Chains A and B, each alone.
Chain A
Amino acid sequence: MSSELNLDYSLLTPEFCLAGLAALILALDLFVDDFRKSWLPYVAAAGLAAVLALSLGWVNKESDFAGLLSVDNYTTFFRVFFMATAAVVALVSAQFVQDKLRHPGEYYALLVLSTIGAIYMAASRELLTAYISLELLSFCLFVLVSYAKHERRSNEGGLKYMLLGAFASAILLYGISMIYGTSGSTFYADIAAAYAGDTSAFDLALLLGLVMVLAGLGFKVAAVPFHMWTPDAYEGAPLPITAYLSATSKVAGFALLLRLFSGAFMPVLDDWQWIVAALAAMTMVLGNLVALQQHNIKRLLAYSSIGQVGYMLMAIAALSAATSSALLLHMTGYVITNLAAFTCIIAWYNLTGRDEISGFRGMAERTPLLAAALTAALFSLSGMPLFAGFFTKFMLFQAVADEGFLWLTVIAVVMSFVSLYYYLLVIREIYVSKPEEGEERLPVPALISGLTVALTIGVFYVGIFPRHLLDVAEEATKLLFA
């Protein structure tokens, strides 16, 4: 670390604006009666879009704040990513929050604040900063998951998430203390320098530290065997928060893993590579197999998202420039697809109050647009050609195989086929099962229709012209391996 610290606060402008936006939302909720409930999501989404546009000003610039936070293409990529996700979730939440939840001000404020945590997880290059950002994101999510405070399932999901989350952070911290003890620093670059030489003097402590850091972060991204909270938190959480959990909390975990492992632990690759590969294999297999027997759409998507985490972990196991850009591409495709699926599911739930898989019967006749979009999203998740899922998975699997993990790729391909089965079960309910007597067509709000169409176009766009996004992902990850 240099003695001259760069304390240029302007680098952090987007996050300051986000914090301001959260405060503004709270103030509007408190003081302006007309604003209560109905306008807050649009304020949140508009604010997020404005800050997103502002953060584009850092494209192709490279700087850091006091050595703690990098502001580079990687950070910019995730700034755009997380703010766009939060904006979509805010819009999707609008009706749900109005119907089902109280205190909308805090809801949207927490959504915006959690985005800051997620961005700093991607930006930090020092363990303490990374840890605090992770907790900022987690704490917001703990509250959001248990937000329906009079509903037992939300309470229970929140309790399990909270207790296991705290347990996992304690393990992570113990791991970090081992890393600090063996390397004498918490800066990624210094850790890498300390491990570059002979590590035989502290091999065991180092291994312990790596295992514990992996366990702690594995919990945050829901890798098997640290996934137990996922289905419960997904099912208990209010639906839009389930969508948010499946998108931001996962991707933020991977953003942190990617920078940490490429920046700090590359010299001791042999120590952790096999662990991550084993985690990836277990996660893919268990996530996809357990998904087969789910009856609730949220739990189905929870297990399917665990399966997806398995695919993503492969990229960490076979860490290289090619796999990390493929990982960014895959995560983008996955999040667009998942948001499209959840938009349809939330709209369907708002209209009918059903979230069991059997409750989707007759969707094709009652809301044709939502049915088509949900089907497209599910096909994309299973990796059908033309849709985003196919090409992003193809790139990811190919990059992983190129790094010598052919056996992992084989498992991944087999599991993709398995996943097609349970997605088809949902699609069968949508198209084959007839609606019950007297169930008419339902009016879908214009905003939801527009959002659904936009996200579905996104799914096809990534699937048909993946080159554009891949170029961006390559730009973003280039500096990790410079």
Chain B
Amino acid sequence: MEPVAQQIPLEHFLALSAILFSLGVYGVLTRRNAVLILMSVELMLNAASINMVAFAAYASPEKFTGMIFAVFIITIAAAEVGLALAIILRIFRNLGTANVDEVDELKW
């Protein structure tokens, strides 16, 4: 059977992931709400996962390194969200806001 890899060129996957990654970076830099920043970071992580899977399918289809890497990225991202939400929740309880520009007690 002809694998999908031959029907869609690698560049398409890379372009998709680059766009996702840029969107994520844009979100992190412009969003004020900590939860939305976190979601933007997740976009960036997904971009990395797409890269990993695409490279695994094209560059070394006989090994699964990239696929396994993607699974680990997803797992760690889930743990990260749990941790971050706990910290954000704590901030929200103490300060009544989750906007990063209003959390400004520490300055240089």
Contact = CB atoms under 8 A, between A and B. Distances in A.
Given A170-B48, A173-B44, A299-B108, 15 more contacts: A127-B69, A128-B68, A142-B87, A146-B87, A155-B103, A156-B103, A157-B106, A159-B34, A159-B88, A167-B41, A177-B51, A184-B55, A185-B65, A186-B69, A231-B106
A132 to B, nearest CB: 6
Given A128-B72, A159-B91, A181-B59, A167 B44 contact: yes
B23 interface: no
A170 B46 CA distance: 9
B41 A231 contact: no
Given A174-B48, A180-B52, A180-B55, A163 B106 contact: no
A128 B76 contact: no
Given A155-B95, A156-B91, A163-B38, A186 B65 contact: yes
Contact of A174 (B44, B65, B87, B88): B44
Contacts of B28: 163, 167
Interface of B: 17, 21, 24, 28, 34, 37-38, 41, 44-45, 47-48, 51-52, 54-55, 59-60, 65-66, 68-69, 72-73, 76, 79-80, 83-84, 87-88, 90-91, 94-95, 100, 103-106, 108
A153 B106 contact: yes
Nearest to B20: A174
Interface residues of A, number: 43
A231 B45 contact: no
Given A170-B24, A185-B65, A162 B84 contact: yes
A75 B44 CA distance: 32
Contacts of A160: 100, 103, 106
A152 B94 contact: yes
Contacts of B90: 146, 149, 155
B41 A170 contact: yes
Main secondary structure of the interface of B (DSSP, over half): helix
B38 A132 contact: no
A159 B44 contact: no
11 contacts: A127-B69, A128-B69, A155-B91, A156-B104, A156-B105, A159-B103, A162-B83, A167-B28, A170-B24, A177-B66, A184-B59
Contacts of A231: 106, 108
B44 A171 contact: yes
Contacts of A181: 51, 54-55, 59
Interface in A166-213: 166-167, 169-171, 173-174, 176-178, 180-181, 184-186
A139 B60 contact: no
A127 B65 CA distance: 10
Given A166-B80, A184-B60, A152 B105 contact: yes
A176 B106 contact: no
B77 to A, nearest CB: 9
Interface in A285-303: 290, 294, 299
Contacts of B41: 163, 166-167, 170
B94 A150 contact: yes
Nearest 10 interchain pairs by C-beta: A170-B44, A177-B51, A173-B48, A181-B55, A232-B106, A166-B41, A174-B48, A184-B59, A155-B91, A184-B60
Nearest to B56: A180
Interface in A120-174: 127-128, 131-132, 135, 139, 142-143, 146, 149-150, 152-153, 155-160, 162-163, 166-167, 169-171, 173-174
Contacts of A135: 76, 79-80
A174 B106 contact: no
A117 interface: no
Contacts, number: 122
Contacts of A170: 24, 41, 44-45, 47-48
A150 B73 CA distance: 32
A235 interface: yes
B59 to A, nearest CB: 5
A155 B87 contact: yes
Contacts of B106: 153, 156-157, 160, 231-232, 235-236
Contacts of A156: 91, 103-106
B33 to A, nearest CB: 11
A447 B24 CA distance: 49
A176 B105 contact: no
Nearest to A228: B108
Nearest to A149: B90
B96 to A, nearest CB: 11
Contacts of B44: 167, 170-171, 173-174
Nearest to B73: A173
A238 to B, nearest CB: 14
Interface in A82-123: none
